[in-house]
Amino acid sequence: MNAIDNSKIQEDDINLGLLLNTLAGAKDSSLVFYYDGRRVKPGYHVTEVKAGQFSALDCGANPEAWMEIFIQLWDIEEGDRTHMPAGKFYAIIRKVTEHVKLDDSAKLTFEVSDGVRPMQLYRAGMPVLRAGAVHVELSPRPASCKPRDRWLAEQNAASCCSPSAGKNACCS
């Protein structure tokens, strides 16, 4: 049985390639992440970058397969440090690629902890360059029922493409 490719990124997610392309054009700008309604502290560290290839069975007994990249942020205050320059973050990720195969189109997940609270999983929104900094909003990565998600997407595509939608062409 063939596995369903679960690498499709949800509409609110970005992949590593998009993040790095944005950072490449703003290497001298500070990189500021936001999560749970606050920004990361200026002393944050990238403590780990890992890539995984996953195979699973969803709740509809469908085999699933996808690649995912995890970037771990340690949200700490450290001396008089400022937020990491985008170029430094970019260089860290590129250094990792010398040892670990990172697929720029893979699903991107951030693991964030302040060293006290348990690590939480987040997805990254579109980077925004404003006031001399690159801002990236992290939002909690929700659980989902993949068979239901696929069914809803099919229903949306079917209703969008139907003659009753006003046009006899697909909306996408």
- Region of 61 please: left (phi>0), alpha (psi -120 to 50) or beta: left
Verify that 159 and 102 share a domain, yes or no: no
Give the separation between CA 121 and CA 110, rounded to whole angstroms: 6
Surface-to-core class of residue 75, CB atoms within 10 Å of its CB (0-12 exposed, 13-18 middle, 19+ buried): buried
Are residues 94 and 161 located together in one domain of the fold? no
Supply angle C-alpha 93, 94, 97, rounded to 5: 95
| Residue 17 shares a structural domain with residue 81 | yes
pLDDT at 171: 59
- Residue pLDDT tens, the chain, 172 long: 465 555 555 566 899 999 999 999 999 999 999 999 999 999 999 999 999 999 999 898 999 898 999 999 999 988 889 999 999 999 999 999 999 999 999 989 999 999 999 999 999 999 999 999 999 999 999 888 888 888 888 888 887 666 655 555 555 5
Domain that holds residue 18: 4-141
On whether both 121 and 148 belong to a single domain, the answer is no
DSSP state of 159: H
pLDDT at 46: 97
At 142 the pLDDT is: 87
Give the separation between CA 142 and CA 159, rounded to whole angstroms. 26
For residue 152, the model assigns a pLDDT of 85
Count: domains in the chain: 2
The residue among 10, 48, 20 whose CA lies nearest residue 141 is 10
Q: Do 58 and 122 fall within a single domain? A: yes
* Domain co-membership, 103 together with 157: no
pLDDT of amino acid 168: 52
98 plus 172 within the same structural domain: no
Residues 6+ apart with CB under 8 A from 162: none
- Predicted local distance difference test score (pLDDT) of residue 41: 96
Q: For residue 95, give the H/E element and its range.
A: helix 86-96
Chain CA centroid to CA 102, Å:
13
Can you give the pLDDT at residue 16? 93
Do 32 and 86 lie in one domain? The reply is yes
